[in-house]
């Protein structure tokens, strides 16, 4: 390849005789490649295996028409486009699982050959799982990918590409008949594509209801896409709903980019998810929160400017509200902001001086009080609390940015009658509760849904952003249907005595409903200076108890990388352990809690780390690789040939030739390493048990001939971390 013209390309050319058959263009640097020959004819090349910097690609050389690539059963390209958000679905229904697998096969059928993966090797020793777990990842290019995470391996199932529902520069150009592509003919190979032509396509929030098979995708350009499952290929028309959040502010001027343009007319969609409607908000700012209640047929979404509530059954908006503060309006360039005069600026300056003097007197009096308390023999030592500057926190972002949305059936009007409600939390600590009135079941499509704001609104004194909210009954069970999936898990008590748990960046509060009185709270930032980053309600069971009773806890990750577990509803701390380095901002930002106490986070843009907080969710990545001459091979094969074991292709190569030289030689030396972490059990007063164990196996194959050594290392997937409790616990990777 001429370096002057193709210096920025990563290419491999296939040359047969004096002519170039094809030139493969990769989006990342080529590290190494080798040829896999046919089993029956050693002189006939079958496949080209290419190891790139960001992916592993195998190309079929037998089909010159297109040179298709194989679908890899492992080493999948997780970061084909940068991951922006994620969601975990536990115990996916069988009918939905089968639909996703069929739709995924149809997607791969046009791009991949039907032949089997040409590389064979190890076998997985993991037993088959009766439950199907799915991990959804949203990406920067507008795609949502479904992954099978039922066991420790991770394989792709299906991909939803939302960019094809919009028209713009991101669409591939049409090929004109007779147009010369030039020489050489570059064929783009691989899935890795880190560049996106339009940032508005990026997926910011996803919500998937597995029971009703409805997917909601919130984008960077203010678009909210509602998709439902489709069993066959058909032509559809997309319905667009526009909602102006700043309609009351006539002179508001939005300086950001405009909205995306949905395609008009009939659009052909294949088997899988199809869009039922697209909601476009104005201004076209990033979607920051979504909530879906399929039982009520309601959809809510929020942005940096406000939120809306939509009836997606009748496809009409119910209510909307602009949550922007005057300071936000000023930063956006709104002309409705009242400008400060010179007198007002002087008045504000004198107020700051007076407040500074008063605070100085308070500090002096508190210091003298402290000295007196030190000499008091009977006084108990109170925990040290830090003084937090509220004005500096608010300046970290938009005050009116909607951080969380929550729809729940609880007691908001009075203590005798429960009903639907909507709760909205913002970046400045404001919480807007709404009561929702649904028409009778027989009149759901003919009568409209009403939503009314509940007074008074809640304003947190510390002005910290609201991360999440949820309601629990008197026993601490969450009032949330999607968390109750088995007979052992207790359903919420709807007789009364509900409590709303509000989690901000700095503290947790438990409010009684419907009085909204503070029952108790747990301070975090004032004690140790940490701030909450990720939260999740998890269910734990006591494996040593006689019953399988479930206990609900609150999992928390702070900005220091520490994992905390709090009991519900008392908010007593049950566990604290370090999980991520505080410098690892990507890992902290991407962490996700699962319902059963596991979690995922990005160790790097291309690596997903899995951990567990529950002893019932032990993670043991075990596999075996049988090599010629391996000691104990026969006994190992007999042991692993039982019917309850699943045989899978893991990693390795059969009859592969690297650079024309065979790497399989005699004089094998096999060494097996078994590494195991310490199991620590912590029994709490309420019966919760948090423990775990991990086992990592690796096999090392060494061959020696003429003082030349070639080493092939086959390992399991990245070891899964297990978090334990103790005064000092190191949670890290196994020794190498």
Q: What is the pTM of this model?
A: 0.77
- What's the confidence (pLDDT) of residue 544? 64
Place of tokens 């997780």: 78
Instruction: Pick 222 or 714 by higher pLDDT.
Output: 222
Short-list 239, 205, 199, CA closest to 221: 199
H or E stretch covering 586: helix 585-590
Question: Phi/psi at 171 (nearest 5 deg)?
Answer: -75, 140
Q: What distance in Å separates the CA atoms of residue 122 and residue 624, rounded to the nearest whole number? A: 5
At residue 87, does pLDDT exceed 90?
yes
Strand duo 607-612 + 721-722: pairing:
parallel
Range with the poorest average pLDDT among 87-96, 365-374, 405-414: 365-374
In what side-by-side order are the strands of the sheet with 298-303? 287-293, 298-303, 306-311, 316-322
Integer Cα distance of 605 and 54 in angstroms: 10
Tokens of 302: 């929020």
List CB contacts of 269: < 8 A, sequence separation 6 or more. Answer: 230, 233, 234, 235, 236, 275
Six token digits for residue 86: 């994620």
Consecutive H or E run containing 662: strand 661-662
Structure-derived torsion over alpha carbons of residues 189, 192, 198, 199, reported in degrees to the nearest 10: 180
CA distance 155 to 717: 12
Q: Are strands 272-282 and 239-244 parallel, antiparallel or unpaired?
A: parallel
Exposed / middle / buried, residue 297 (Cβ in 10 Å: 0-12, 13-18, 19+) = middle
pLDDT of residue 362: 54
Q: For residue 233, what are the CA distances in angstroms to 145, 199, 562?
A: 20, 29, 48
Helix (H) or strand (E) holding 368: helix 342-375
Q: What is the mean pLDDT of residues 215-228?
A: 96
Asked whether 672 and 698 are in contact (CB, 8 A), the reply is: yes
Q: Does residue 587 surpass a pLDDT of 70?
A: yes
| Alpha helices per DSSP H over 230-341 | 326-332
Mean pLDDT across the stretch 457-477? 92
Range 640-649 average pLDDT: 42
pLDDT-based confidence at 21, cuts 50/70/90? confident
pLDDT of residue 442: 85
Per-residue three-class SS string for 338-365: CCCCHHHHHHHHHHHHHHHHHHHHHHHH
Residue 307 has pLDDT above 60, yes or no: yes
In this predicted structure, the answer to whether residue 270 has a pLDDT above a threshold of 70 is: yes
Number of residues written out for the chain:
736
Give the pLDDT score at 725: 38
Cis peptide before 310 (omega within 30 of 0): no
Could you tell me the two tokens for 318?
Answer: 């119910």
Q: Kindly state the DSSP code that residue 642 receives in the 8-state scheme.
A: S
Q: Is the pLDDT of residue 687 over 60?
A: no
Strand order in the sheet with 656-658: 56-60, 45-52, 30-37, 656-658, 661-662
Which range scores top for mean pLDDT: 357-366, 390-399, 417-426, 705-714? 417-426
In the predicted structure, residue 149 carries a pLDDT above the cut 50: yes
- What pLDDT is stored for residue 298 in this prediction? 96
d(CA 258, CA 732): 46
Nearest to 605 by CA among 78, 138, 51, 199: 78
pLDDT above 50 for 7: yes
Instruction: Find the mean pLDDT for residues 151-171.
Output: 85
The 10s digit of each residue's pLDDT in 334-373 is 444 444 455 566 667 767 777 666 555 555 555 555 454 4
- The mean pLDDT of 473-485, rounded to a whole number, is 73
For 526-573, the pLDDT digits (tens) are 888 899 999 999 988 776 655 667 889 999 999 999 999 999 989 999
pLDDT at residue 294 in the model? 92
The pLDDT, as a whole number, for residue 194 is 79
In angstroms, rounded to a whole number, what is the distance separating the alpha carbons of residues 448 and 440?
A: 10
Nearest to 105 by CA among 181, 156, 38: 156
- pLDDT class of 322 with cuts at 50, 70, 90: very high
Percentage with pLDDT > 90 across the chain: 41
Residue bearing tokens 């010629």 = 628
What is the three-class DSSP state of 519?
A: strand
Distance CA 139, CA 664 (A): 41
Query: What confidence score (pLDDT) does residue 543 get?
Result: 62
Neighbours of 644 (CB within 10 A): 6
Q: Within its chain, how far is the Cα of 592 from the centroid?
A: 6
* Average pLDDT of the segment spanning 378-391: 45
pLDDT value at residue 172? 59
Q: Is the dihedral of CA 557, 561, 563, 568 positive or negative?
A: negative
**Residue 632 confidence class, pLDDT cut points 50, 70, 90:** low
Where is pLDDT greater, at 3 or 643?
3
CA distance 116 to 58: 12
List of E strands, 38-124: 45-52, 56-60, 83-89, 123-124
Residue corresponding to tokens 């009991």 = 567
Query: Over 80: is that where the pLDDT of 124 sits?
Result: no
Alpha-carbon gap, residue 445 to 438, rounded angstroms:
11
pLDDT at 302: 97
So what's the pLDDT on residue 509? Answer: 94
Q: Give the lowest-confidence range in 50-64, 240-254, 384-398, 661-675.
A: 661-675
**Dihedral sign computed on CA atoms, order 35, 36, 40, 44:** negative
Look at residue 367 in the predicted model and tell me its pLDDT: 52
User: Quick check: 623 pLDDT over 90?
Assistant: no
Name the residue with higher pLDDT: 707 or 192.
Answer: 192
Of 684 and 340, the one with more pLDDT: 340
When pLDDT is averaged across residues 283-292 and rounded to a whole number, the result is: 95
What is the model's pLDDT at position 620? 77
Region of residue 487 (phi > 0: left; psi between -120 and 50: alpha; otherwise: beta): alpha
For residues 414-436, give the mean pLDDT: 93
More confident position, 675 or 302:
302
Instruction: Give 154-222 as a DSSP string.
Output: -EEEEEEEGGGGEESTTSPPPPPTT----SS-EEE-SS-----S-GGG-EEEEEEETTTTEEEEEETTS
Picking from 340, 337, 313, the residue whose alpha carbon sits closest to that of residue 324 is 337
Q: Give the C-alpha separation, 577 to 599, whole Å.
A: 14
So what's the pLDDT on residue 470? 94
Q: In the predicted model, what is the mean pLDDT of residues 491-506?
A: 87
pLDDT for position 313: 92
- For 4, phi and psi rounded to 5 degrees? -65, -35
**Of residues 554, 307, 323, the one with CA closest to residue 427:** 323
Average model confidence (pLDDT) for the chain? 77
Please answer whether residues 662 and 681 qualify as being in contact, where contact means their C-beta atoms are separated by less than 8 angstroms: no
Q: How far apart are CA 428 and CA 461, in angstroms?
A: 10
Quickly tell me which residue has 């147009």 as its tokens.
179
Q: Is the pLDDT of residue 408 over 60?
A: yes
Q: Residue 537's pLDDT is what?
A: 93
């Amino acid at each position: 390849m001429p370096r002057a013209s193709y210096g920025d390309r990563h290419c491999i050319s296939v040359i047969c005789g004096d002519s170039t058959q094809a030139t493969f263009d990769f989006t990342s640097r080529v590290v190494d490649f080798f040829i896999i020959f046919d089993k029956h004819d050693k002189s006939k090349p079958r496949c080209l295996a290419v190891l790139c910097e960001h992916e592993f690609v195998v190309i079929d050389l037998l089909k010159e028409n297109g040179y298709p690539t194989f679908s890899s059963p492992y080493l999948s390209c997780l970061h084909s486009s940068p991951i922006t958000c994620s969601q975990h679905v536990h115990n996916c229904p069988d009918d939905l699982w089968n639909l996703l697998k069929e739709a995924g096969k149809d997607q791969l059928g046009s791009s991949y050959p039907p032949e089997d993966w040409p590389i064979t090797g190890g076998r997985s020793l993991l037993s088959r799982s009766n439950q199907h777990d799915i991990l959804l990842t949203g990406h920067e290019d507008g795609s949502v990918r479904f992954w099978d995470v039922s066991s420790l391996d991770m394989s792709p199932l299906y991909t939803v590409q939302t960019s094809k529902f919009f028209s713009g520069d991101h669409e591939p150009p049409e090929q004109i008949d007779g147009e010369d592509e030039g020489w050489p003919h570059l064929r783009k190979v691989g899935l890795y594509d880190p560049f996106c032509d339009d940032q508005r396509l990026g997926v910011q929030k996803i919500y998937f209801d597995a029971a009703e098979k409805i997917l909601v995708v919130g984008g960077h350009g203010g678009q909210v896409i509602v998709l439902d499952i489709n069993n066959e290929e058909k032509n559809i028309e997309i319905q667009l709903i526009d909602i102006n959040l700043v309609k009351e502010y006539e002179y508001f001027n939005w300086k950001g980019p405009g909205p995306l343009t949905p395609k008009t007319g009939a659009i052909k969609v294949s088997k899988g998810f199809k869009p039922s409607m697209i909601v476009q908000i104005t201004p076209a700012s990033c979607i920051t929160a979504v909530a879906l209640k399929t039982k009520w047929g309601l959809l809510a979404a929020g942005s940096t400017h406000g939120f809306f509530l939509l009836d997606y059954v009748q496809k009409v908006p119910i209510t909307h509200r602009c949550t922007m503060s005057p300071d936000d309006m000023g930063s956006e360039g709104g002309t409705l902001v009242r400008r400060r005069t010179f007198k007002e600026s002087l008045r504000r300056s004198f107020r700051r001086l007076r407040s500074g003097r008063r605070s100085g007197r308070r500090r002096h009096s508190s210091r003298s009080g402290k000295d007196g308390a030190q000499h008091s023999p009977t006084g108990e030592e109170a925990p040290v609390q830090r003084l937090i500057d509220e004005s500096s926190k608010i300046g970290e972002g938009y005050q009116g940015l909607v951080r969380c949305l929550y729809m729940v059936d609880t007691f908001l009007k009075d203590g005798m009658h429960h009903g639907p409600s909507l709760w909205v939390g913002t970046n400045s600590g404001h919480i807007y509760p709404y009561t929702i009135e649904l028409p009778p079941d027989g009149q759901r499509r003919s009568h409209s849904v009403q939503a009314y704001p509940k007074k008074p609104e809640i304003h947190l004194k510390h002005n910290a952003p609201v991360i999440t909210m949820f309601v629990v009954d008197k026993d601490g069970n969450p009032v949330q249907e999607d968390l109750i999936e088995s007979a052992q898990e207790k359903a919420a008590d709807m007789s009364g005595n509900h409590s709303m748990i509000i989690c901000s960046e700095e503290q947790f509060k438990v409010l009684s409903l419907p009085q909204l009185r503070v029952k108790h709270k747990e301070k975090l930032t004032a004690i140790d200076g940490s701030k909450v980053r990720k939260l999740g309600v998890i269910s734990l069971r006591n494996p040593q108890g006689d019953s399988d009773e479930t206990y609900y806890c609150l999992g928390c990750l702070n900005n220091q990388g520490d994992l905390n577990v709090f009991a519900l509803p008392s908010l007593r701390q049950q566990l604290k352990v370090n999980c991520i380095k505080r410098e690892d901002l990507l890992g902290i930002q991407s962490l996700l809690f699962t319902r059963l106490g596991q979690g995922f986070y990005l160790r790097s843009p291309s690596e997903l780390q899995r951990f567990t907080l529950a002893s019932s969710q032990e993670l043991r990545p075990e596999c075996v690789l049988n090599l010629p001459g391996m000691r104990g091979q026969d006994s190992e094969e007999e042991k692993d040939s039982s019917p309850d074991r699943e045989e899978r292709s893991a990693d390795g190569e059969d009859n592969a030739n690297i650079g024309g030289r065979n790497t399989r030689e005699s004089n094998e030396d096999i060494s097996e390493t078994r590494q195991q972490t310490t199991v620590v059990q912590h029994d709490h007063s309420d019966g919760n048990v948090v423990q775990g164990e991990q086992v990592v196996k690796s096999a090392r194959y060494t061959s020696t001939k003429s003082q030349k050594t070639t080493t092939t290392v086959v390992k399991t997937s990245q070891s899964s971390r297990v978090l334990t409790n103790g005064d000092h616990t190191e949670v890290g990777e196994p020794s190498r």
